[in-house]
Structure 1
Amino acid sequence: MAEKTPIKKVVLAYSGGLDTSVILKWIKQTYGCEVIAFTADIGQGDDFAAIEAKALATGASKVYVKDLKEEFLTKYAFPTLRAGAVYERKYLLGTSFARPLIAAHQVEVAKLEGADAVAHGCTGKGNDQVRFELTYKALAPELKVIAPWRQWDLGGREDLLEYANAHGIPVSQSKQNIYSRDQNLWHLSHEGGELEDPWQEPNEAMFQLTVSPEAAPDTPQELVIGFEEGYPVSIDGQAMGPVTLVTTLNEIGGQHGIGRIDLVENRLVGMKSRGVYEQPGATILATAHKELESLVLDRETLHYKDLVAQKYAELVYYGLWFTPLREALDAFVDVTQKPVTGEVRLKLYKGNCIVTGRKSPYSLYHEAFATFSSDPIYDHADAQGFINLFGLPLKVAALLKQQGTTAQ
């Protein structure tokens, strides 16, 4: 059970789902304090009027609902896209960078309301508790943190369902539909249920954003994605704002079964977990962005940026968004993205996102250099000296080995 730390007012990150609905009631019962609910609209498609009404009915003294969709994309999703950050080869980090955004605005509300504590509904086994609490520490270290999953004696979601029943809290989950989901404009994640067995194939009925590749249209669809300095700005030549652009790509990509990811990942807290993600629009953008970079970035920058991308992905996944290192890496990324302007053509077909063309005014590709035909710019004979110098260490090592003077 919770320690009875004196607390007067709490701001709870509230989704209206099973966990946070129970938590709202539990905090009031346990601490006897005022609870303010904070909800962020980041494209999860919820009925926010219903969420507000539910929070008030469950005991919240006040409810804040903020539309953060554009900020979510421009200040979190797109910087991560420009960095090329992908966690463990597949995951485009949709939940990871959503948590610092939500926590940052939750802290703003706490300061505005004079609250002395913040609370979240993250479990003690997951990554999200770290992402929320590192943001609290970075932006408001004076606030106390209430993390019920680490404090109460409710053992799992079945216990929460019984608690909700006993206290008249309406919830949409059931013991048959027990998935833990997180949705925003960048993705939809699924955990729990049969997914806890990594050998078990996901139930097709679980998916909500994408059709199966088998059920996708037999005719491919072609798209052209336009970028300016690494930011996606258009589809098929039509300029679009961030929210419209990503929403459109989610719809188109979902129709073609794009962006289904089944991943056994290494959680920050030390265990492996299995998650299934639907990230259609993000997959299209990441594929196109990577391809445009291959056209405009020189070899050394491109190769080094791949190293930075992995570190960036780790920082985001670990909840280290508000850190000097992430800001410093952003400065590096900003420089690399100056020439990342142009268009990439893709073909969407039965789960596949296939690049068919790319162009940019800053392209480093020149047909005169790359052609196998005779040209006045590249002298084939020049390659001999290059190979001799590049291979000199290998030659020296081989000669020493022949003389028997190398270390055994």
Structure 2
Amino acid sequence: MQKQYKKVVLAYSGGLDTSVIIPWLKEHYGCEVIAVAANVGQGDFELEGLEEKAIKTGASKCYIEDLTKEFVEDFIVPTLKAGAVYEGKYLLGTSFARPIIAKRLVEIAKKEGADAIVHGCTGKGNDQVRFELTIKAFAPTMDIIAPWRFWELDSREKEIAYAEEHNIPLKINRETNYSKDKNLWHLSHEGLDLEDPANEPLYDQILEMGVTPEKAPDVPTYVTIGFDKGTPVSVDGVKMTPVEILTKLNELGGANGVGIVDMVENRLVGMKSRGVYETPGGSILYFAHQSLEEICLDKETQHYKMQMAIKFSELVYNGLWYTPLREAMSAFVDSTQQTVTGEVKLKLYKGNIMNAGMTSPYSLYSEEIATFGEDNVYDQADSAGFINLFGLPLKVKALLDEKKIK
């Protein structure tokens, strides 16, 4: 017998999945549905009319929570400082947006006395894991309903047909039915022609945050980003909040065709998935931050941090944000960032990001030591002894090999 619920809280975006879930829940459970939409910087277009739409399709109320500041400062910035990039390409735009949304869902579910939390993630995707692990972290006994695992609407085409039958307004149709996720950090595109890796993306049709490199200006754009202990604090000398900085860099990066990634990634659930990501401002920040670390971190710390960044990216991708390991890694990262302060000047040109100079009061770079000219601080004769000791294991093995040959 199907378990019944009196009141549920739904993670609501107004997209295809969550639009049809409200009437579907009422049909199958007869329960009160409270919609919760999270503003993580996706823009007014996606949030416009959301509350009215939720109520019209059957929700008893709709929360629209502005989480943008917390999202940028508590999720994006720590991941940026860690230098975490999943599989060398993906800047984790959807991944670190899910935990903050799920945490707020739990808070509202407890406030409203809900029996369960509902999400519209598919059984093939990563988001189901990210949502549910966070829910378990903050409400371990809360029931979770995931209709995609068992309902009859087992394709996006069937969902659209259901929406049409129930007069549910959609901002997509069968021809523009890409699966998208947008926030202040990025915009992702999946589905349709992108499901075949042999197809070149229809960039002119799908890009929303910027233009292709071919359509970018024929003259470069210069921008200077200031950091304080690894956190971005200014653009072109003007102090800004992280939200303002990201908004500004999205504009500059998008206009110059920066941050477009086409990749086939390994999903947590085992399959490979092809997606196109737009991350203009984020790509600029990653490039600038890594460049500043090159002069501010010592070799051993820099190299170890690079190794750790791979694991950090996997934790974020896999929905393990609220875990002791991620928190411990962030503590290590914060320790390394104490001297990552300074300014990085970049040149943006037709999809490219190039260094145009950087300075830091904590720079470990010494022109006097590194120079090819005459200097009085480095005795080049010292290198002979260093090489003899560094190469001693090779020499010992070579001598042993010679004895074996004889």
- Give the TM-score range, shorter chain: over 0.9
Q: Could you tell me which of 20, 23, 32 is aligned with 2:21?
A: 23
Match in the other structure for 1:403: 403
**How far apart, in 1, do the equivalents of 2:373 and 2:362 lie?**
24
Q: Which letter maps to 2:321?
A: W
**How far apart, in 2, do the equivalents of 1:335 and 1:245 lie?**
23
Q: Deviations over 1:118-141 (max 9, x none)?
A: 011100100000000000111101
**How far apart, in 2, do the equivalents of 1:216 and 1:323 lie?**
42
Match in the other structure for 1:258: 258
What is the CA RMSD across the aligned residues, in angstroms? 1.1
**How far apart, in 1, do the equivalents of 2:183 and 2:353 lie?**
21
Match in the other structure for 1:104: 103
**How far apart, in 2, do the equivalents of 1:58 and 1:279 lie?**
33
**How far apart, in 2, do the equivalents of 1:326 and 1:8 lie?**
36
Alignment of 1:108-187 (within 5 A): 108-187=107-186
Aligned pair 1:33/2:31, yes or no?
yes
Q: Deviations over 1:54-77 (max 9, x none)?
A: 000111111111111110100001
Aligned pair 1:378/2:368, yes or no?
no
**How far apart, in 1, do the equivalents of 2:4 and 2:58 lie?**
19
**How far apart, in 1, do the equivalents of 2:32 and 2:180 lie?**
28
Aligned pair 1:322/2:322, yes or no?
yes
**How far apart, in 2, do the equivalents of 1:349 and 1:385 lie?**
46
Alignment of 1:45-60 (within 5 A): 45-47=43-45, 48-60=47-59
**How far apart, in 2, do the equivalents of 1:329 and 1:373 lie?**
42
Match in the other structure for 1:366: 366
**How far apart, in 1, do the equivalents of 2:103 and 2:44 lie?**
21
Offset, 1:241 = 1.1
Q: Which letter maps to 2:390?
A: F
Number of residues paired by the alignment?
404
**How far apart, in 1, do the equivalents of 2:2 and 2:73 lie?**
41
Match in the other structure for 2:9: 11
Match in the other structure for 1:44: 42
Q: TM-score with structure 2 length normalisation? A: 0.98
Q: Structure 1 residues 303-312 or 368-377, which shifts more?
A: 368-377
Q: Deviations over 1:298-328 (max 9, x none)?
A: 0000000001100000000000001000000
**How far apart, in 2, do the equivalents of 1:36 and 1:55 lie?**
9
Structure 1 SS opposite 2:49? helix
Match in the other structure for 1:296: 296
Q: Deviations over 1:101-154 (max 9, x none)?
A: 100001000011111100111001000000000001111011100001002011
**How far apart, in 2, do the equivalents of 1:374 and 1:46 lie?**
60
**How far apart, in 1, do the equivalents of 2:240 and 2:368 lie?**
36
Match in the other structure for 1:207: 207
**How far apart, in 1, do the equivalents of 2:99 and 2:345 lie?**
33
Q: Structure 1 residues 46-55 or 198-207, which shifts more?
A: 46-55
Q: Deviations over 1:27-79 (max 9, x none)?
A: 11111111100001011113435000000011111111111111010000110
Q: Which letter maps to 1:62?
A: K
Q: TM-score with structure 1 length normalisation? A: 0.98
Match in the other structure for 2:312: 312
Offset, 1:405 = 7.8
Q: Deviations over 1:193-247 (max 9, x none)?
A: 1100101011121111111101100000100000000001110000111211111
Structure 2 SS opposite 1:263? strand
Q: Which letter maps to 2:344?
A: V
Offset, 1:6 = 2.2
Offset, 1:374 = 2.2
